[in-house]
Amino acid sequence: MSKYILIAILNFTTVCFVSAQQKKNDPVFDNWFAQQPQPIMPQTNTPPPPPGVPLDGGLIALIAAGGAMGYKKYKDRNVE
Amino acid sequence: MSSAAFSDKGFRDFIIRFLSTLVVLTIIYEAYLWFTEQQRELDWITYKVSELSHALATALGVANCEFSCFMDGCRIGVEGKMINVLEGCNGLMLALVYASYIVGSGGYKWSSLVQVIVGIIVVQFFNVLRIGILVVLRDIGGDAYFFFIKYVFNVLIYISILFLWILKPYVDRAFEKEV
């Protein structure tokens, strides 16, 4: 029984120690769980790029239309 | 279009020619794009379409119309109201689909080659007109720009391609009479 109490106390002490170190921002275990301080980046005032004028949106529809026109052409030829 | 349609030899040959031409032309075009990307340059077609659109916009009265090109595309228009002409805006993929249909339908003939060249010029003419007018509309401002960019011009170009396809049998007949 005393063995379990000893392990529990040891775990509790370790957790307390690690959390205390992390609060101080000390690199214990490379400080994995702590929030790393973010570098301050200068805010650039770059405007968003101008809008594009795409044309390729209906390519599949155009290919399908080509297939349908070809089908109609050969179907009409067979009827004649 | 039922599976019985593919038993028709004429239609089957058309589909094979149409799709194989489209695949070959797309591979050549993609290889060209890859090559220009390796050279860290913009492709010539996008550049020329942008340059002509800029000239058209200037001719249509856009004052201080600027034109600058980068690796991914060209920017045209007045400062703060520019539009971005990227590779997908140059209309060449549409021209390739058009050309594939002409070859698929007519076969590998001189009349097909002439129709392909004329069709590509027509598609590019409409595209330059589209981008030039879009620059003007963006300069003027308002909602008209978004309406035109989203619906009017795209529909116009697609209809022009369908119209050229419909005209194809008549053009073929004219070529046959000449010969």
Residue B46 lies in a domain: no
Residue A20 lies in a domain: yes
How many domains in chain B?
A: 1
In angstroms, the CA B154 to CA B73 distance is: 19
Q: Which residue has the tokens 């009017």?
A: B152
Prediction ipTM score: 0.83
Beta carbons of B5 and A55 less than 8 Å apart: no
Whether the CB of B74 is below 8 Å from some CB of chain A: the reply is no
Residue B128, domain extent: 8-41+90-178
Residue A62 lies in a domain: no
Residue A80 lies in a domain: no
Give A58's contacts in chain B (Cβ within 8 Å): 154, 158
Neighbours of B48 (CB within 10 A): 14
Neighbours of A12 (CB within 10 A): 10
How many domains in chain A?
A: 1
State pLDDT tens for residues B100-110.
Answer: 999 998 888 88
State pLDDT tens for residues B29-80.
Answer: 999 999 999 999 999 999 999 999 999 999 998 888 889 998 888 999 998 8
Residue B54 lies in a domain: no
> CA A70, A72, A73, A78: dihedral to nearest 10 degrees?
130
Beta carbons of A66 and B101 less than 8 Å apart: yes
State pLDDT tens for residues A26-58.
Answer: 555 555 555 566 667 666 667 777 878 777 778
Q: Which of A53, A62, A77 sits opposite B161 (nearest CB)?
A: A62
List A52's β-bridge partners, or say none. Answer: B84
Residue B108 lies in a domain: yes
Residue B101 lies in a domain: yes
Residue A26 lies in a domain: yes
Beta carbons of A70 and B104 less than 8 Å apart: yes
Ordered alpha helix ranges (H), B44-147: 44-59, 92-106, 110-140, 144-147
When scoring B18, B82, B100, B101 by the number of chain A Cβ atoms within 10 A, the one with the most, hence best to mutate, is B101
Residue A63 lies in a domain: no
In angstroms, the CA B35 to CA B164 distance is: 32
Beta carbons of A69 and B18 less than 8 Å apart: no
This prediction has a pTM of: 0.75
List A76's β-bridge partners, or say none. Answer: none
Residue A12, domain extent: 1-35
Residue A4 lies in a domain: yes
Residue A70 lies in a domain: no
Q: Which residues of A touch B (CB under 8 A)?
A: 47, 49-59, 61-63, 65-71, 73-75, 77-78
In angstroms, the CA B175 to CA A15 distance is: 89
Q: Are A31 and A22 contacting, i.e. CB atoms less than 8 angstroms apart? A: yes
Closest CA to A53 of B33, B110, B129: B129
In angstroms, the CA A65 to CA B100 distance is: 12
